């Protein structure tokens, strides 16, 4: 009886400690704030040059990235890294880099492409065949906490690699991962401590025992300002999965202003902080053939015109084709060719300016209107993406860009023969985008991203 009484007296304390520990875990996840840098940040490009670069990257990404469902050993892993140094067909792919460090006692810098379409986190190590990077490759021998992952570890066999197995001699996990643009990384799976330097307070969050790939043979289309890829997909090896956060988010600042963009692993509780509009949500749609995050797009409105396409034009097909992807790594939103032609007609009929036909090829087919500086603020038709349960009313600056060379350009492109639609990061500027994986929802709210 006495023991029961003591137990009952202690019960409130136990419950309090349980809640306190849960709150501590939640606040730790919420506190993990990182800075992203846009690939063209601080490089002195004019708005016209930025527009050309974004258009070229997006067009080439569509041409090279999307593999038909089922093609290749790892057809679902269909993204690859970041920017090139020159404009053109080789100047494309992902737009944002995430920066942190690996190892102890002296953490070593990595700069990885933020990729919501793949799982593996990897950086270059023990280079046999590698691409140039702006700082030394990772040296695991210099870390006191690095250890190789055994090939008998379940994640070696179940990590969604194109190929994995045992290394001769030490039974470490060897892997090969391939991407839709035919880029390939091969290396060994390691575990070490990650250090995230949180901005703006500068405090470090140190997380031990995270898995990552040491890429030894890396070929394909990679940029000179990255060292690998940070997968933010749904798989067990992605960064959000390993950190056991049920949410992650990003808030891209205005691209032409070259300011850092915040990303959160474990989203702040107050999503209304720095909000400038209404918070909305829409379901995430699963595609068994892809790691990407799909949405249910029902239609598009331009000004007074609802485009004559119903939800079937944007729907995910049974074979994994079609659908609408929200993508951190593509600059421009793109829609199937027939939808794009209708969108162009709607803008042309409602904008009282002549079409600039001189720069069509340079902008990969983007629609631009001839406009003097005095007319750059002329009213443009609204653009609304009708999602399941939400209407994404894009602010003007998220789909219109004025340059002196080109006039007023509608920053939306055609997907050509591809029947997928894609919502790019230009359209996501100054919007806090939350991937709520616990509830399988995408939450978004207009925000002052530079104030978060």
pLDDT tens for each residue of 319-335: 999 999 998 878 889 99
Residue 450 appears among annotated catalytic residues: no
Q: Rounded CA gap, 257 and 41, in Å?
A: 8
Indicate if the alpha-carbon torsion angle 312, 316, 317, 321 is positive or negative. Answer: positive
- Which of 181, 327, 406, 418 is an active site residue? 327
Closest CA to 214 of 153, 146, 281: 146
Q: In 3-state terms, what secondary structure has residue 159?
A: coil
Give the model's pLDDT for residue 423. Answer: 95
More confident: 160 or 10: 160
Tokens standing for residue 185: 């990384």
Say if strands 121-129 and 204-219 run parallel, antiparallel, or are unpaired.
parallel
Whether 63 shows a pLDDT value over 80: the answer reads: no
Structure token pair of residue 156: 């070696």
- Categorize the per-residue pLDDT at 288 as very low, low, confident or very high, splitting at 50, 70 and 90: confident
Which residue would you say has higher pLDDT here, 25 or 41? Answer: 41
- Is 115 one of the annotated active-site residues of the chain? yes
- Catalytic site residue from 115, 177, 406, 418: 115
Confidence class for position 168, pLDDT limits 50, 70, 90: confident
Stretch 132-137: mean pLDDT, rounded?
Answer: 91
- Determine the Cα–Cα distance for residues 186 and 163; give it in Å rounded to an integer: 9
Q: What share of the chain is helix, strand, coil (3-state, %, to 5)?
A: 20, 35, 45
In 276-406, at which residue ranges do the beta strands (DSSP E only) sit? 280-285, 294-295, 297-302, 305-306, 324-326, 333-335, 367-369, 383-387, 390-394, 400-403
Quote the CA–CA distance of 429 and 249 in Å, as a whole number.
13
């Amino acid at each position: 009886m006495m023991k029961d009484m003591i137990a009952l007296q202690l019960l409130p304390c136990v419950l309090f400690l349980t809640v306190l520990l849960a709150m501590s875990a939640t606040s730790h996840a919420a506190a993990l704030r990182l800075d992203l840098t846009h690939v063209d940040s601080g490089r002195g490009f004019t708005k016209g040059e930025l527009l050309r670069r974004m258009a070229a990257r997006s067009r080439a990404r569509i041409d090279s990235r999307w593999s038909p469902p089922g093609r290749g050993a790892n057809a679902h892993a269909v993204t690859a890294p970041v920017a090139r140094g020159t404009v053109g067909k080789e100047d494309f792919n992902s737009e944002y880099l995430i920066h942190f460090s690996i190892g102890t006692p002296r953490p070593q810098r990595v700069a990885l492409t933020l990729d919501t379409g793949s799982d593996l986190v990897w950086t270059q190590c023990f280079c046999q065949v590698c691409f140039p990077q702006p700082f030394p490759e990772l040296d695991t021998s210099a870390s006191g906490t690095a250890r190789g992952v055994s090939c008998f570890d379940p994640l070696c066999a179940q990590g969604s690699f194109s190929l994995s197995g045992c290394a001769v001699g030490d039974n470490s996990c060897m892997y090969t991962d391939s991407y839709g643009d035919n880029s390939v990384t091969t290396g060994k799976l390691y575990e070490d401590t990650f250090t995230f330097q949180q901005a703006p307070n500068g405090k470090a969050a140190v997380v031990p025992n995270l898995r990552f790939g040491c890429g030894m043979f890396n070929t394909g289309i990679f940029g000179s300002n990255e060292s690998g890829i940070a997968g933010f997909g749904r798989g067990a090896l992605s960064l959000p999965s390993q950190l056991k956060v049920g949410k992650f988010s990003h808030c891209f600042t205005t691209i032409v202003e070259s300011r850092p963009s915040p990303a959160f692993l474990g989203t702040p509780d107050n999503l209304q902080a720095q909000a400038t509009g209404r918070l909305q949500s829409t379901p995430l749609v699963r595609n068994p053939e892809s790691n990407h995050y799909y949405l249910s797009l029902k239609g598009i409105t331009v000004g007074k015109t609802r485009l004559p396409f119903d939800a079937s034009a944007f729907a995910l097909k049974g074979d994994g084709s079609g659908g609408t992807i929200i993508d951190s790594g593509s600059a421009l939103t793109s829609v199937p060719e027939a939808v794009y032609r209708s969108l162009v007609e709607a803008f042309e009929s409602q904008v009282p300016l002549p079409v600039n036909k001189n720069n069509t090829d340079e902008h990969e087919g983007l629609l631009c209107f001839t406009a003097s500086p005095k007319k750059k603020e002329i009213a443009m038709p609204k653009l609304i993406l009708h999602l399941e349960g939400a209407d994404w009313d894009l602010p003007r600056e998220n789909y219109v860009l004025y340059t002196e060379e080109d006039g007023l350009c509608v920053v939306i492109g055609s997907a050509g023969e591809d029947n997928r639609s894609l919502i790019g990061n230009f359209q996501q500027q100054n919007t806090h985008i939350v991937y709520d994986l616990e509830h399988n929802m995408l939450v978004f709210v207009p925000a002052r991203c530079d104030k978060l």
